[in-house]
Amino acid sequence: MKVANKSLANQIADHVQPKHMKHYGNEQTSIVRQSSVKSAVELMSSIISCEGFKDKEQTIKDTLEIAQRIEEWVTRS
């Protein structure tokens, strides 16, 4: 996947991959989650480019929260 802000994407991947992406039995869930994280990173990248980078840990937390909300929206019934 191509991401505009590779640095932020790598920081998020360091926090996400071990916990959330390693042990999926359901390939579709994995695809949705990865896509949600990618979308969240792109959104946060555009926010950072407008407002500037402030706090790394808060940015990671906000990005993961956005990714979770995107995933919930995609998998809603």
- Taking only the tens place, the pLDDT of each residue in 30-77 is 889 999 999 999 999 998 888 877 888 899 999 999 999 999 999 987
For residue 77, give the 3-state DSSP assignment. Answer: coil
* pLDDT band, very low/low/confident/very high, at 28 (cuts 50, 70, 90): confident
CA distance 70 to 77: 14
pLDDT at 4 over 60: yes
Domain boundaries in the chain?
Answer: 32-77
* Structure confidence at residue 53 (pLDDT): 76
* Structure confidence at residue 64 (pLDDT): 94
Interior CA angle at 42 toward 37 and 44, to 5°?
90
